[in-house]
């Protein structure tokens, strides 16, 4: 680890479970750091006052920290996962995120009953900051109902039955009356945003038995428009799970805020150029989740090659159109590092572009109202210090020598390391 001023020891900032009761963050001076400016790195002195970055020299400084020529970048982020908020004891997952430099996480489906207890573990200086969707709104028999019921049969979700999963783990809506019934229940759980399931909408009105998608048809398109309007009327953003290019089109036309997947995990699904342009015009963000196609790689290499080719075309199209792409993995047992490496394998984006998708873009989709994801004046004092320049050597992202979060120097336990 590079040298850090001996004055750092005066901070006494080992963050513990008592973080909520900590004194306000100290006033800090960071010397000899190379700070990411969006295109490259500038060597400059930066200060932190009340947990905010500034170039203005404060009258009093509690401690001076020598960054030793390290490369300073915003924290990394995970736009799409489901691996937090289900258990009061999730320290291993939290530690893994912090070790990797991932400070912000979007959880797109969870049980409010469990998360209500677990919330105290998040959104504090010694942990990750998380936004929760709670149960998603879906159609009868559609995802995630079969998955939830299957896991219930394996012993997951203690205290729940098949009957009580409904209106909690998910909300089933087939008619306007269903939506009117479940809507106040969904709001009562105080979601950070609304999650809906748009699936195989191109076959939604096909008669039973005339489609391969029985049990995989999502919400009726008319209900999607209604849900977008209701969510926005309540000041809530709405995120759409999608599967096909037609689902993507419906999500854009209905005016969702975030499309939670790139279309086509099992089959090639090319996005139309006019729809990509409209998504950009409307400020709709897209979670990449392209790594999910890896499930095809071994058992269907030809299918994987076809999907991969269209993924490349879709990502190029969306990026050229100006759509905000945010790195998210949707991998329960992993995190956004797997998605970032998959995207590097596709060889579409430069290291700078990928870093932007993994920091600023992602943070903007998880916490749009906070000043995070960049190292600008007045932004939150949260950043990583790397040994090397990630624009020249991507592996430098695995060599984090200092983590600062919310204006505090983050100390990780001895068992925490940055290797996979």
Phi, psi of 8 (to 5 degrees): -60, -35
Check residue 21 and give its pLDDT: 56
287: tokens are 């979670």
pLDDT at 81 over 80: yes
Residues in CB range of 43: below 8 A, 6 or more apart = 32, 33, 34, 35
Check residue 209 and give its pLDDT: 54
pLDDT at 89 over 60: yes
CATH number of 76-366: 3.20.20.140
* pLDDT tens-digit readout, 275-325: 999 999 999 999 999 999 999 998 999 999 999 999 999 999 999 999 999
387: tokens are 């040994």
User: Percentage of the chain surpassing pLDDT 90?
Assistant: 85
End-to-end CA distance of the chain: 18
Q: Are 52 and 381 in contact (CB under 8 A)?
A: yes
Q: What is the DSSP letter of 418?
A: S
SS3 sequence, 181-239?
HHHHHHHHCCCCCEEEECCCHHHCCCCCCCCCCCCCCCCCHHHHHHHHHHHHHCCCCEE
Nearest CA-CA partner of 13 in 414, 404, 417, 415:
404
> How many other CB atoms are found less than 10 A from the CB of residue 154?
7
Q: What are the residues facing 400 on neighbouring strands? A: 386
Query: Which band of pLDDT confidence, cut at 50, 70 and 90, is reported for residue 2?
Result: very low
The two counts, helices (H) then strands (E), for the chain are 12, 18
**Calpha distance 299→293 (Å, rounded):** 11
Nearest CA-CA partner of 264 in 312, 300, 226, 223:
312
Query: What is the rounded average pLDDT of the residues 201-205?
Result: 74
> How many other CB atoms are found less than 10 A from the CB of residue 79?
32
**Calpha distance 150→155 (Å, rounded):** 9
User: Percentage of the chain surpassing pLDDT 70?
Assistant: 90
User: What would the DSSP string read from start to end of 177-196?
Assistant: HHHHHHHHHHHHT--SSEEE
**Calpha distance 186→343 (Å, rounded):** 35
Residue 172, CB-side half-sphere exposure with 13 Å CA sphere: 15
Phi, psi of 338 (to 5 degrees): -65, -40
230 CA to centre of own chain:
23
Nearest CA-CA partner of 373 in 297, 285, 298:
285
Polymer length of the chain:
420
pLDDT at 87 over 80: no
SS3 category, 80: strand
Considering only CA atoms, give the Rg of the chain: 22
CATH number of 6-74+374-409: 2.30.40.10
Q: Which residue in the block uniquely carries the two structure tokens 């736009």?
A: 79
377: tokens are 């004046």
Question: From residue 231, how far is each of 222, 251, 305, 393 by CA, in Å?
Answer: 15, 14, 38, 43
* pLDDT tens-digit readout, 228-242: 999 999 999 999 999
Check residue 412 and give its pLDDT: 80
**Calpha distance 229→109 (Å, rounded):** 21
Q: Which long-range contacts (CB under 8 A, 24 or more apart) does 149-158 make?
A: 157/111
* Strand bridging mode 400-405 / 383-386: antiparallel
* Domain boundaries defined on the chain: 6-74+374-409, 76-366
pTM value? 0.91
């Amino acid at each position: 680890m590079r040298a850090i001023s001996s004055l750092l020891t005066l901070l006494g900032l080992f963050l513990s479970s008592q973080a909520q009761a900590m004194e306000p963050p100290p006033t800090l001076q960071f010397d000899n750091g190379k700070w990411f400016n969006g295109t490259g790195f500038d060597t400059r002195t930066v200060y932190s006052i009340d947990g905010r970055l500034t170039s203005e020299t404060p009258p009093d400084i509690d401690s001076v920290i020598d960054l030793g020529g390290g490369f300073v970048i915003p924290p990394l982020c995970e736009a799409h996962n489901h691996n937090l908020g289900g258990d009061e004891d999730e320290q291993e997952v939290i530690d893994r995120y912090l070790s990797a430099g991932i400070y912000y996480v979007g959880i797109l489906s969870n049980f409010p009953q469990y998360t209500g207890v677990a919330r105290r573990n998040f959104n504090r200086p010694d942990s990750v900051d998380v936004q929760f969707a709670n149960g998603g709104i879906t159609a009868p028999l559609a995802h995630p109902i079969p998955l939830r019921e299957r896991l219930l049969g394996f012993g997951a979700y203690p205290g729940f039955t098949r009957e009580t999963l409904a209106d909690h783990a998910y909300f089933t809506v087939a008619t306007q009356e269903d939506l009117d019934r479940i809507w106040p229940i969904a709001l009562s759980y105080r979601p950070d945003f609304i999650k809906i399931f748009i699936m195989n909408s191109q076959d939604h009105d096909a008669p039973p038995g005339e489609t391969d998608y029985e049990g995989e048809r999502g919400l009726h398109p008319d209900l999607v428009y209604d849900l977008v309007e209701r969510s926005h009327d309540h000041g809530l953003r709405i995120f759409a799970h999608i599967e096909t290019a037609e689902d993507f089109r419906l999500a854009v036309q209905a005016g969702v805020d975030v499309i939670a997947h790139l279309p086509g995990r099992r089959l090639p699904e090319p996005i139309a150029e006019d729809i990509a342009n409209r998504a950009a015009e409307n400020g709709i963000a897209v979670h990449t989740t392209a790594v999910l196609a890896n499930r095809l790689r071994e058992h269907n290499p030809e299918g994987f090659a076809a999907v991969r080719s269209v993924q490349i075309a879709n990502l190029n199209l969306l990026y050229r159109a100006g759509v905000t792409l945010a790195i998210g993995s949707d991998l329960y047992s992993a995190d956004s590092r797997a998605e970032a490496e998959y995207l590097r394998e596709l060889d579409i984006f430069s290291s700078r572009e990928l870093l932007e998708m993994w920091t600023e873009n992602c943070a903007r989709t998880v916490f749009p109202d906070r000043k995070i994801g960049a190292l600008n004046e007045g932004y939150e004092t949260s950043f990583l210090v790397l040994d090397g320049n990630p624009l020249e050597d991507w592996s430098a992202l695995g060599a984090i020598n200092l983590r600062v979060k919310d204006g505090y120097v983050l100390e990780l336990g001895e068992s925490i390391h940055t290797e996979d």
